[in-house]
Amino acid sequence: MTTADPTALPAASGAVAAPARPARKLTGRLGVGSIVFMVIAAAAPLTVVGGGFPVGALLGDGIGAPTMYLVGGAILLFFAVGLSTMSNYVPRPGAFFTYVGYGLGRPLGLAAAWLAILTYTTVQVAVYGYVGAVMSGYVVSLHGPTLPWFLYSLAMVAIVGLLGYRHIELSGKVLGVFLVCEIGVVLVLAGAVVATGGAEGLSVAPFNPTNVMSGAPALALMFALAGFIGFESTAIYRDEAKDPQKTIPRATYASLIIIAVFYTFASWALVMGIGPSHLMSELAKDPSAFIGTVTARYLGPVGGWIVNTLMITSMFACVLSFHNVITRYQHSMSNASVLPTALGKVHKTHRSPHASSIVQTITAAVLMIAFALFHLDPVLQVFTWFSGISTFAIVVLMGLTCLAVIAYFTAKKIKAGLWKTWIAPVIGFLGLAVVAVIIAQNFPLLIGDADAKGNPVFGTLTVTFLALMAAFPVFGIVQALVIKARKPAAYKNVIDTISTIEE
């Protein structure tokens, strides 16, 4: 049975009034620019262009890979329409789990919450592992000492934890500086390629349908979508935004469009820089060294050194941004009575979820130590395995959110426009469903579970990780049912006290 929320306006008005300010609410005056900085930093543009694109092109459709960033951006744009609309009618932080809870019911809301925690935690530790390996090699290349990768990872965890403990605006400023630098060097490189005419002349070969559909375009799309993880986190900063009703939707669209255009242009420039006919042979040598090779050719050794340095700062910006996202998810879940009360505390001076930040820092450190004790390779295992999990999970979360948007506006009979509440979310859901099927079929490749010929195999490793993924949302559903049975009053407070559709 559905109960009315005393703070809500009648459904016919098409809006839900903001609730009274809770005692543990985060505050801030983040503008569109600050949120966009943090979101794009989470996407790690230089890391995607220098690391994700070469692998996607090598395993996917070769020179046609740049187009997949446009395709991925288009799919996510339909998703963003529903996400932005929902953020105006459900004025609360929490993003995925809040929206799914409002649209599909509390049990699925908590399932989405735990799946989101898994998503952002795995992508964060994946990058921690990768940056540890990169920094270890980077220091050696500068004639420094040879140290284990996990020491660099732990140092990064500590620095991120310190920044995450303080006010969000400090993180925004740090991310802004790093983001400008990494985008700037890529644009300089792309400008040099365009100015010189590239290796074989400038062309639109990467957008030729024949090239786009060559090889394995499904794999290329999968890697392209992985580069967008983080853009959807704008809603989690709602309580810290200057004008949430305008800031959150604008930041969401701006982040997505900037990311899609940047990835497409930068990857096209790299293809032109090496030459379409030489792309695959160059990638086959070492995809991780590809952007350095192109940079050295057009910007010289100094340019190559700068790019390698900014790759590290790009990954740092990525983990810092995801740290902020995870701590705010935990904070919102605490205030929704599904995590310990302590995680919802807000620092008196920094106005940050400091307790949640400390827990997340400890979690990341413990995982890094565990990976080291099990002698896992930071790139081939830590990065590959956990980025595979996060990619699959985020697509499932987005698909659930599209369904939640449709269900919410249909049940509440809110007239917010057919395009925003039905057409765009349906198109977004269908696109994400197709991608989810593609990822499921190729999931073994994401975590390196393949036979001698490189074909995906659903072996022990794949089954273990899929079971892990399933365990998180199942735990959320069970938790909701347990709370409902044992503490009916507390159950009504789950998903920020407002009832969802009839259960």
pLDDT value, residue 290:
86
What local confidence, expressed as pLDDT, does residue 269 receive?
95
The answer, yes or no, to whether residue 477 has pLDDT greater than 90, is yes
Q: At what angle do helices 244-274 and 168-196 cross, to 10 degrees?
A: 30
Most confident of the ranges 131-140, 174-183, 368-377: 368-377
Q: What is the pLDDT of residue 375?
A: 92
Separation CA 40–CA 61 (nearest Å): 25
- Residue 168 is predicted with a pLDDT of 58
Q: pLDDT-derived band of residue 498, with 50, 70 and 90 as boundaries?
A: very low
Extract long-range pairs of 416-423: CB within 8 Å, 24+ residues apart: 416/14, 416/85, 416/89, 417/85, 419/81, 420/81, 420/82, 420/85, 421/82, 421/85
Give pLDDT tens digits for 423-434. Answer: 999 999 999 998
Q: pLDDT band for 321, please (50, 70, 90 cuts).
A: confident
pLDDT band at 150 (very low <50, low <70, confident <90, very high): very high
Cα–Cα distance list, 295 to 190, 306, 432 (Å): 9, 9, 35
Among 334, 371, 365, 437, smallest CA distance to 117 is for 334
Q: What is the pLDDT of residue 23?
A: 44
pLDDT tens, position by position, 322-364: 888 888 878 877 877 788 877 877 767 766 777 888 999 999 9
Would you state the pLDDT for residue 142?
81
Per residue in 189-227, pLDDT (tens digit) is 999 999 999 999 999 999 999 999 988 887 788 888 888
Per-residue pLDDT, averaged over 271-275, amounts to: 95
21 vs 42: CA distance, rounded Å: 29
Is the pLDDT reported for residue 24 higher than 70? Answer: no
The CA distance from 458 to 450, in Å, is: 8
What is the model's pLDDT at position 77?
92
User: Mean pLDDT across the stretch 3-20?
Assistant: 35
Lowest mean pLDDT segment, chosen from 18-27, 84-93, 372-381: 18-27
Tell me the percentage of the chain whose pLDDT exceeds 90: 30
Query: Quick one: pLDDT at residue 10?
Result: 31
The pLDDT of residue 439 is above 90: no
What would the pLDDT profile of 39-72 be if each residue is shown by its tens digit? 776 677 888 888 789 888 988 899 999 999 999 9
Pick the residue with more confidence: 3 or 286? 286
Q: How far apart are CA 130 and CA 404, in angstroms?
A: 35
Domains (range + CATH), the chain: 34-493 (1.20.1740.10)
Name the DSSP letter for residue 215: S
pLDDT of residue 412 exceeding 80: yes
pLDDT tier, 240 (very low <50, low <70, confident <90, very high otherwise): low
Per-residue pLDDT at 454: 67
Question: Hey, what amino acid is at 29?
Answer: R
Spacing of C-alpha 77 from chain mean position: 15
Contact 385, 465 (CB under 8 A): yes
User: Mean pLDDT score of the chain, rounded to an integer?
Assistant: 81
